[in-house]
Amino acid sequence: MNNRLKQCPVCNSTLEIKEYHCTKCDTTIRGNFEVGDLASLSAAQQEFVKIFICNQGNIKEVEKALGISYPTVKNRLAEITKTLCPSQIKEKTEFSASVLDEIERGEISVEDAIKKLKKRS
């Protein structure tokens, strides 16, 4: 069974969970169940999130656990953030673009823009 299946293999629509079944006691629960946000992550991303949480967000410990570099940890976090928090990414992008527009119109200096961006992040 593929517990990562999220989209219909025929028409690519989002699948809905209709039934849960316990193989031990043969109990079946039917209904309409939503898939949580974490299900939108790949298996590798879910494993990364698990390791990140188990290490209480300590990037150095995540580096050690996975044998990867600091930039790789940050890149994986950024990918997961894009998936789980798209509105946050959009807001940051729009804010950055508006600051660049202010520079282009001569309303603020580059130094002021840097301060503004650092303050926001």
Tens of pLDDT, residues 34-92: 777 888 788 899 999 999 999 999 999 999 999 999 999 999 998 998 888 877 777 77
* Helical ranges in the chain per DSSP H: 43-54, 59-66, 70-84, 86-104, 110-120
Report the chain's mean pLDDT, rounded to a whole number: 87
Could you tell me if residue 93 is left (phi over 0), alpha (psi between -120 and 50 degrees) or otherwise beta?
alpha
Asked whether the CA dihedral 23, 24, 25, 29 is positive or negative, the reply is negative
Q: Is 21 a residue whose pLDDT tops 90?
A: yes
What predicted TM-score, i.e. pTM, was given to this entire model? 0.58
